[in-house]
Amino acid sequence: FEDVVRVLDRYFDALAMRTYSQERLNELADIANIPVINALSDQEHPCQALADVLTITEHIGPGGEVELAYVGDANNVAASLAIAVSSVGMNSRFIFPRGYTMPESIISEARARAIKSKAKFLITSDPASSLAGVNVVYTDVWVSMGQEAQSGQRIADFDGYQIDSAMMSLAAPDAIFMHPMPAHYGEEVPERFLIDYPRSVTFDQAENRLHVQKALLASILQDTL
């Protein structure tokens, strides 16, 4: 692995890695002498979070105007989203089934950033009672890559956590719906929900991945280009 990294180090100006292992990503970053981008790991998905913040700002507004509810699995997307929205002053509540939660290191980091930005950050377990006043509703898959063997148990555990029109009606009338895609239709959302729900901004969200990653590359490479 180290041999490969040292060769790539001489070929490119930056590296991006999508991996099941955060430890492997950290190893790559330790070896490389060029910037390394986390394109997704088992622990975090920061590029997605950048696109999410941009999308929310475009549709709702900055910081204090945002009341976000994430409903679903305490996965890598949730972890990076918690840190990102807390960093920019967006109020958030993360709603997971009992027995599911983010690592304590992520929770502590999100809380610290929320305090600094004067945002609210809450973790709870009841989606129906937690959506009042929310203007951003966000969900993700219940079964991530590598968790297929747990599919049956996870789907049972997340019963009542599907985001559909009835669930969205509990949020503010102007609430937008977000999902990082791809969706598992029939699980966290009904069939065609990303396409047919009138306040779905999922395709803007997907497009913004391109724009924020261009900006990220421009930022980290500005002194080398």
Quote the pLDDT of residue 145.
Answer: 77
How high is the pLDDT of residue 146?
79
The pLDDT, as a whole number, for residue 225 is 65
Residue 183's pLDDT is 96
Q: What angle do CA 76, 81, 87 make, to 5 degrees?
A: 135
pLDDT at 216: 96
**Cα 225 from Cα 221, distance rounded (Å):** 6
Half-sphere exposure of 175 (CA within 13 A, CB side): 25
pLDDT of residue 49: 98
Kindly list the domain boundaries of the chain, sorted by start residue. Answer: 2-42, 46-206
pTM, two decimals, is 0.94
Considering the domain delimited by 46-206, tell me its CATH architecture.
3-Layer(aba) Sandwich (3.40)
Residues (pLDDT < 70) of the chain are 225
- 26 CB-near residues (< 8 Å, 6+ apart): none
Determine the 3-state secondary structure of 99 from DSSP.
coil
